[in-house]
Amino acid sequence: MAKLKETVLDPLSDNNPITVQVLGICSALAVTIKVETSFVMSLALTSVLICSNLIISLLRNVMPSKIRMIVEMTVIASLVILADNILKAYMYDVSRQLSVFVGLIITNCIVMGRAEAFALQNPPRLSLVDGFGNGLGYSAILIVVASLREVIGFGTWYNYQVLPLAYEGNGLVILAPGAFIIIGLIIWIQRSVIHKVEED
């Protein structure tokens, strides 16, 4: 039970895929203009991560080691195409805003990274939980970054007006450099204030 809890909580901060391992930055920069798109992206990535970890873990004892990574890629790519098609059918508007970034989950290092680092060595149930935990860690950062960018950039949060209509909006945070700065600040805060990461 303790192991389960640790598997979920660890990636939330101590071992966060974005801020500590600095993986999955591409999509974290690209889709965090609005909270809505970030939320759907988080949902898509978390589902893919849970399923891929589960499937890879189930296959780990029968999978020939020579083609291990190709099999992982095939499973992940299939899951991503599924997710993309489901979004196109049921959440058309959001999927249009996310454009290629759902498809690019295939190349998101977090998914492959968890398959290699965790699912290959651990039983299915624990791998599933690990996928969920890492998805949550990714989502948490995405939502924080998106909240800052949407509120500062547009004066809205999840499309609701939160700042007075007279608020002009800040163009910098909407652009990619703004996301870089915000993610950089979050990484800095997390590493120096919350967890004293020792520099080698």
Residues that bind another protein (CB under 8 A): 33, 62-64, 66-67, 70-71, 74-75, 77-78, 81-82, 85-86, 88-90, 92, 96, 99, 153, 169, 171, 174-175
Using the CB atoms, write b or e for 126-139: b if 16+ within 10 Å: bbbbbbbbbbbbbb
Other beta carbons within 10 angstroms of residue 146's beta carbon come to: 27
Q: Tokens for 104? A: 């690019």
Longest Cα–Cα distance in the chain? 62
* Min CB(16)–another protein separation in Å: 26
Of 65 and 198, CB closest to another protein: 65
Of 60 and 191, CB closest to another protein: 60
Of 12 and 63, CB closest to another protein: 63
Of 66 and 196, CB closest to another protein: 66
* Min CB(66)–another protein separation in Å: 6
Q: Tokens for 60? A: 């780990």
Strand-strand pairing, 160-161 and 156-157:
antiparallel
